[in-house]
Amino acid sequence: MLASASPARLRLLRDAGLDPRVVVSGFDEDSLALDDPRVLVEQLAVGKAQLVAAPLRSELVLGCDSMLLFDGEVLGRAGSREEVVRRWRRLRGNEGVLLTGHCLIDTASSQQVSAVGESLVRFGSPDDDEIAAYAGTEEALAVAGPFTIDGRAAAFVDSIDGDAGNVIGVSLPLLRELLGKLGVRVTDLWC
Residues 6+ positions from 84 with CB-CB distance below 8 Å: 78, 131, 134, 135, 140, 141, 146
Beta strand 60-70 pairing with 73-75: antiparallel
Sheet holding 95-106, edge to edge: 73-75, 60-70, 95-106, 111-123, 157-161
CB 99 within 8 A of CB 118: yes
CB 114 within 8 A of CB 102: yes
Catalytic residue among 19, 35, 36, 65: 65
Alpha carbons 115 and 157: distance in angstroms, whole number? 25
Q: Is-catalytic flag, 28? A: no
Closest CA to 144 of 100, 114, 175: 100
CB 138 within 8 A of CB 152: no
Active centre residues (catalytic): 65
